[in-house]
């Protein structure tokens, strides 16, 4: 009977049988955004390896794939965090525009972990626009092309993202200064 069912039909039936249980499996182990990404990865693996999926009990097989995909996502996230820390130490974004006078992160006493924590506290939109501006050295019009929005919207987002990052970094620097003063008094 298996041979008589077309591949797309078999896949559709398999997805119907495993999608919700695998989703619940994933959201118990990670956040919803990561779970959604991993579920997509699981479905891709199921499509690619459809001939290997046991017809009688596909769910345990799908759980095993989900575990592997979740592990891959965790490793990728760890690599991303390590990269952010390295970039922040090797090439920190300045608190001001590159040509403007003012302190840079290198002169504030903040380390890469502080910068990483401050960046991680920002939204993904803020991190994207800041990274394109500070690390890739793109102008707002160029960032607009990358993000598919207007240059004016980029300028507004960039201004707000820099302000939010500055607030977070200032708070960290103030906390460090208070801690150091408390130790020396």
User: pLDDT at residue 96 above 50?
Assistant: no
User: pLDDT at residue 137 above 90?
Assistant: no
Residue 106 has a CB neighbour count (10 Å cut-off) of: 10
CB 69 within 8 A of CB 62: no
| 146-160 per-position pLDDT tens digit | 888 999 999 999 999
The band of 101, judged by pLDDT with boundaries at 50, 70 and 90, is very low
pLDDT at site 75: 92
What's the rounded Cα separation, in Å, for the pair 109 and 92? 12
Question: In terms of C-beta distances under 8 Å and separation of at least 24 residues, what long-range contacts does 52-60 make, across chains too?
Answer: 53/14, 55/2, 58/14, 58/17, 58/18, 59/17, 59/18, 59/21, 59/22
Per-residue pLDDT, averaged over 117-130, amounts to: 85
| 67-91 per-position pLDDT tens digit | 999 999 999 888 888 877 777 666 6
pLDDT at site 184: 59
pLDDT at site 9: 93
The residues, ordered by sequence, that sit 6+ positions from 155 with a Cβ below 8 Å of its Cβ are 140
């Amino acid at each position: 009977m298996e041979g008589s069912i077309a591949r797309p039909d078999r896949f559709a039936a398999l997805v119907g049988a495993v999608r919700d249980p695998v989703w619940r499996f994933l959201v118990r182990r990670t956040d919803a955004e990561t779970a959604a990404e991993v579920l997509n990865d699981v479905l891709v693996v199921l499509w690619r390896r459809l001939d290997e999926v046991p017809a009688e009990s596909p769910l345990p097989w799908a759980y095993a794939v989900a575990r592997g995909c979740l592990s891959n996502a965790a490793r990728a996230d760890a690599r991303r965090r390590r990269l952010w820390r390295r970039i922040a130490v090797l090439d920190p974004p300045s608190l001001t525009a590159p040509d403007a006078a003012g302190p840079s992160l290198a002169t504030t006493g903040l380390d890469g972990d502080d910068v990483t924590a401050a960046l991680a506290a920002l939204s993904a939109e803020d991190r994207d626009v800041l990274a394109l501006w500070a690390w890739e050295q793109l102008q707002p019009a160029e960032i607009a092309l990358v993000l598919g929005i207007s240059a004016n919207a980029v300028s507004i987002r960039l201004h707000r993202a820099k302000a939010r990052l500055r607030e977070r970094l200032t708070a960290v620097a103030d906390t460090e200064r208070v801690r150091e003063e408390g130790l020396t008094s």
